[in-house]
Structure 1
Amino acid sequence: MFPPGSEDNHLEDYQKSIRALAKLRRQVLKPLRTALELPESYMSRGQWSTLPYKRVAKVAMTMYEPLFQLHDGPRFQNFQDDETLAGAGGGPAKPKMIAAAPLHQLVHIMQSWHEHKPPTREYVVREWNKEFASLHTKGLFSNCLVIFDSVMRKGPNIDKLIRVGLGLSALISGLSQQGLPWGNRVFAFRGDVQFHVLPFLPQTQPLTPESLTHTLNTINNIQCTVRFNLTPIFEWILSMAVAQDIKETDMVKTIFVFTNKEFDETSVPTIRGKPSPEEMATRKPFPWHHEYVQLRRKFKAEGYANVFPQVVFWNLQGQHSAAFTTTDDGIMKLKGYSDAFLRIFLDLGGVVEPEDEMYASISSAKYQDLQLID
């Protein structure tokens, strides 16, 4: 590279290394990227309109998707739609991104459904209805109540986590037993009891693209606050059960809370009356144990001692890529998010034990050949 007598031969070693790297990039790496049609080659030249998306690897697709949407949105959207519908014999096939993370990608498409081709929307709704029918047939989530936090605090992957919460809220609320006060409702993450009755009944009629989009928008528009309180929810459940003489077998078994906040940081003591948002925001965190003891006594006094609802509080943000669990005073706390854990969460009806988390952690393909020798 630097033969005797060349003009570069007098350079210091560190200068030669810099020039060698520059020559390597110019004469080797650049032609190689061009030959392989790597996305970086097109992106660096600003040639977004000719970038071959079919040549983009899965990892690169995940990394650069926001840039593709920004610089070449319509063409990239058409590529995604074509991938959704491309399959053997022309039949529908899942695109890589939807297959990797079904729920939040389905929600994402339905929230922007006017930007997608009709066959794509219809395919997504078929997948949604198929998932719903599977859970309903197994009898999962039939006695549940859902609390959704529509004002999650900003953080990494916030849009994805909001879509996960939206999708879970829509699925679980629709699976709740119809005819009961909490069926087909989503409750707000706040200090008092407010809920939206969802406009469609998926148990009686499969959702359409329009009705699924309407359902997701209804949930997303629910009015939430920074702080919340579980006590009014428990008291509301008990009052409805007593007023309607609901049997123990029909009582709420599980309350699901989907947010990206910590339970101990956002839970506040009960304030009687109608607290203002300012009053709720200034309340200090409160030990849940005292409320828990009092609520159990109230349920026992009304004849519901054996059916006190369990709370599953899922902080989707967390500090871990896959969720882990702790249980204290009737609160099962889940932290973090992974697609594998979401699948186990749905398959087990939302009540996930530590050993289930372990199975989620080792369920990826790289562990399939792992053998344990005792």
Structure 2
Amino acid sequence: MAANKWDLLPYNRVPSVAMEIYKDKFLKHDEERFNEFLGQVKEGKAKITAGALLPHRIINSLRDGDGWEDRLLKSLRDRHGGRVAELQWKRMVDDLKKEGSLRNCMAVCDVSGSMRGIPMEVSVALGILVSELSEDPWKGKLITFSKRPELQNVEGDNLKSKTKFVENMYSDMNTDFQKVFDRILEVAVEGNLKPEQMIKRLFVFSDMEFDQASLNPWETDYQSIVRKYTKKGYGSVVPQIVFWNLRESIATPVMAKQEGVALLSGFSKNLIKLFLNNDGDINPEIIMEAAISRKEYQKLVVID
């Protein structure tokens, strides 16, 4: 790149983060060959890297800048339909599907005004990702963060339009979790689903604390939820809530546990990776093991 020898760049070997950073340069200086590479990826004749790229970074790369150069590059992006982001997203989804990650899960996405910034990007990205990894009848669906929560089909024919759709979904300042569980139960009963097809985890992405976000006391709600699910034959598979406060910026995530719900406060790239690599199951032991398994700790020994 420094020598301006764009025609020699091996695009199939460009790391995912570098692809995100430099794709506009590739479009500007080597549009024809870069376009040919993207076409080959779409046809399955070449591969694009996505391993180190996090979901919300892909979403962020679809946003347009304000300068004249940004507007010039936007016209190039529009011509190519945001294909780099689309193809990286598809690669990530395909890889996670092969691992069976986040199957039969559901997301409740808070997209209220207070979520602006990284929390909004993470909420939208993980919400769409969870919806695409689930199986029917949950596939392609989210639940709105509302006093009157709705099971919402994610509309759009590409990642950018899906992102805009989710960002524009209605959100309240809190949600009625009992109604969220009622709606999930209705779908299961109407579809005569087997217990193993029930939603196993309900992820709530917000910038609030759990007690603030819940319309009613959780202990009361949970007892009622378990009774309803037991009556319909799903008492052994009541979904667990994983409530993630994305706004809290403390250095170390705080985990707490109530009956039927895991509470997580804090956000970092490592937490996103743990979330994706552990099927959404995040607990204090997993966080601790991930922290002490880093390379810099491997040479430490305990002398007794």
User: What TM-score does the superposition give when structure 2 sets the normalisation length?
Assistant: 0.76
Match of 1:196 in 2: 152
Deviation at 1:111, TM superposition (A): 3.5
Hey, what does 2:41 align to over in structure 1? none
Structure 2 counterpart of 1:145: 106
Trace 1:80-99 onto structure 2 (pairs within 5 A).
81-82=24-25
Among 183, 189, 204, which residue is 1:236 paired with? 183
1:354 corresponds, among 277, 284, 287, to: 284
Q: 2: distance between equivalents of 1:347 and 1:141?
A: 9
What one-letter code is carried by the residue in structure 2 that aligns with 1:147?
V
Asked whether 1:104 is paired with 2:62, we answer no
- 1:324 Cα shift? 3.3
Q: Determine if contact 2:202/2:241 at 8 Å carries over to the other structure.
A: yes
Partner of 1:184: 140
Once residues 132 and 178 of structure 2 are traced to their aligned partners in structure 1, the CA distance between those partners, rounded to angstroms, is: 24
Mapped to 1, the partners of 2:99 and 2:250 lie a distance apart of 30
Distance in 2, matches of 1:228 and 1:142, equals: 24
Q: Of the two structures, which has the highest relative contact order with CA contacts closer than 8 Å and spacing of 6 or more?
A: 2
Kept after mapping to 1: 8 A contact 2:60/2:121: yes
Equivalent of 1:253, from 185, 189, 200? 200
Question: How far did residue 79 of structure 1 move?
Answer: 6.3
Whether the aligned pair in 2 keeps the contact of 1:144 and 1:255 (CA below 8 Å) is yes
What amino acid is aligned across from residue 202 of structure 2 in structure 1? Answer: I
Deviations, residues 213-253 of structure 1 (Å, cap 9, x unaligned): 11111111100001111100111112222222111011111
Structure 2: give runs of 5+ residues left out of the alignment: 1-19, 39-46, 66-70
Q: 2 CA distance for matches of 1:372 and 1:355?
A: 21
2:253 equivalent to 1:323: yes
Q: CA deviation at 1:104?
A: 2.1
Structure 2 residue identity aligned to 1:112: D
Cα distance in 2 for partners of 1:322, 1:176 equals 30
- Identity within the alignment, %: 24
CA distance in 2, matches of 1:99, 1:321: 25
Q: TM-score, normalization: structure 1?
A: 0.62
1:96-124 per-residue CA deviation (whole Å, 9 max, x = no partner) reads xx997632221011243985444793222
Correspondence 1:290 to 2:248 = no
Extract unaligned runs of 5+ from structure 1.
1-76, 201-209, 270-286
Q: Report deviation, 1:199.
A: 3.1
8 Å Cα contact 1:153/1:261 also seen in 2 = no
2: CA distance between counterparts of 1:123 and 1:239? 39
Q: Is the 8 A contact 1:322 1:361 kept in 2?
A: no
Report the AA paired with residue 124 of structure 1. Answer: A
1:145 and 1:173 in contact (8 A); partners too: yes
SS of the residue aligned with 1:173? helix
SS in structure 2 of the partner of residue 187 of structure 1: strand
